[in-house]
């Protein structure tokens, strides 16, 4: 896609994902054992042929930038392919990015110095697999000024999304930003809405015009709140419905909260997960350190019940399950599960060691935490709330490098 320039917005604070975003940008949060969230839109770009990519960073970006430097130096500059990281620079004044639209406006120089006709704008914090070529072909066929990626979601989730109203041809006729009531439902399906995926393809000239106009106004400088509503009715704005090969809503998750993040990870350990990590035709790329193979330990003859066992789980390289039991959980690299442990329905991140006889369930343990012997996490939420973060749905989150006292 030589006529497409891509921007991935990776500068949000991710406050609702705290404490996982206490020390890192939201797109740098680990996901699915070996990945970071930003690996999903980046892999989509590479697989789609969109290989001129600017990543806009701002808050706590060191972990993100290190991951990109170590794992994503894969393109050939001689072929005009690149992944550039552009930190917030106050290029147009003394303010940092004021909104999603402002983040692009402050980097218009990166567009003006190029010649691409189409500007693809993506969020860096969503989990999905999508061929952007189909989106761009749709945009061209409709002779659109702006095309927005949408996916069908249950009506009761409308308050979490920008809600698109469109006609039978896909032309957008209305937009509601996270409505609490009165959300417009999808055509011929009153139980569902069209949710904006935060994926936009603009014609270059139109993008420059609407951003320049918006910069002169008092606004949130946001695509959903300001740019899109003004363009509807005045420009050719279309919705691209993201579906799978059977015409059903494709898998897409905005993991903006702890509960949404936890549930999306748990989707991966289902018997037949909706998000397939094993499709060789659409590989998910990431950076992985050099760890040895997974090891399990069973010494039943020496110590009764000491069985290293993993059931319906994702286990990354470098992990040792030394006589403990892991069920429906995700272990990132270099995790050690010691004897007689019980880990269930949990996400255990890199470098965690779980002491003997410890019990963990319905929890997220961030990097480099040492779980003491006989500790229990997720079994008494009132006690857990005194020491850790507990989400609305009862997911216990132990922050990175936390010292735990039993």
Q: How far, in Å, are 312, 338, 345, 353, 362 from residue 388 at the CA level?
A: 27, 22, 17, 17, 13
Q: Residue 7 and residue 144: Cα distance in Å, rounded? A: 19
Could you give the strand order of the β-sheet that contains 353-354, starting from the edge strand earlier in sequence? 295-297, 320-322, 336-337, 353-354, 370-371
Pairing of strands 309-311, 325-327: parallel
| Residue 345 structure tokens | 């329905």
| Residue 132 structure tokens | 């952007």
Residue 89 three-state SS: coil
Task: Please report, in range form, the residues annotated as the binding site.
Answer: 97, 162, 177-178, 196
Task: Please report, in range form, the residues annotated as the binding site for alpha-D-glucose 1-phosphate.
Answer: 97, 162, 177-178, 196
Q: Residue 268 and residue 271: Cα distance in Å, rounded? A: 8
Helix/strand/coil percent split, the chain, to 5: 25, 30, 50
Length of the chain counted residue by residue = 406
Q: Residue 3 and residue 201: Cα distance in Å, rounded? A: 12
CA 111 to the chain's CA centroid: 25
């Amino acid at each position: 896609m030589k006529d497409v320039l891509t921007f991935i917005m990776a500068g949000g604070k991710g406050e609702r994902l705290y404490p996982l975003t206490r020390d890192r940008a939201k797109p740098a949060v680990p996901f699915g054992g070996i990945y970071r969230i930003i690996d999903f839109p980046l892999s989509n770009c590479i697989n789609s042929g969109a290989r001129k990519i600017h990543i806009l960073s701002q808050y706590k970006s060191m972990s993100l930038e290190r991951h990109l430097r170590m794992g994503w130096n894969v393109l050939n500059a001689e072929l005009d392919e690149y992944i550039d990281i552009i930190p917030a620079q106050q290029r147009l004044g003394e303010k940092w990015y004021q909104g999603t639209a402002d983040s692009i406006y402050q980097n218009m120089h990166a567009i003006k110095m190029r010649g691409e006709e189409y500007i693809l704008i993506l969020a860096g914090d969503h989990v999905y697999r999508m061929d952007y070529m189909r989106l761009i072909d749709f945009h061209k066929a409709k002779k659109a000024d702006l095309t927005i990626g949408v996916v069908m979601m249950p009506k009761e989730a409308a308050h979490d999304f920008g809600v698109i109203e469109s006609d039978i041809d896909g032309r957008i006729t209305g937009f509601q930003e996270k409505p609490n009531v009165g959300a417009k439902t999808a055509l011929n399906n009153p139980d569902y809405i069209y949710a904006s995926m935060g994926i936009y393809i603009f014609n270059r000239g139109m993008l420059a015009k609407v951003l320049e106009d918006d910069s002169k106004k008092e606004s949130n400088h946001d695509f959903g709140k300001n740019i899109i509503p003004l363009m509807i009715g005045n420009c050719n704005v279309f919705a691209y419905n993201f579906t799978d090969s059977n015409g059903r809503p494709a898998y897409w998750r905005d993991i903006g909260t702890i509960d949404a993040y936890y549930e999306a990870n748990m989707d991966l350990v289902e018997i037949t997960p909706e998000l397939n990590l094993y499709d060789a035709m659409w590989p998910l790329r990431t950076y992985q350190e050099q760890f040895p193979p997974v090891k399990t330990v069973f010494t039943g003859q020496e110590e009764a019940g000491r069985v290293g066992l993993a059931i319906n789980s994702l286990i990354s390289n470098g992990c040792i399950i030394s006589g403990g039991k892991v069920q429906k959980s995700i272990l990132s690299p270099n995790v050690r599960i010691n004897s007689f442990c019980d880990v269930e329905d949990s996400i255990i991140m890199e470098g965690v060691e779980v002491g003997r006889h410890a019990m963990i369930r319905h929890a997220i343990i961030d990097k480099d935490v040492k779980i003491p012997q006989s500790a229990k996490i997720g079994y008494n939420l009132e006690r857990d709330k005194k020491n850790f973060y507990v989400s609305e749905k009862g997911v216990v989150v132990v922050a990175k490098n936390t010292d735990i006292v039993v």
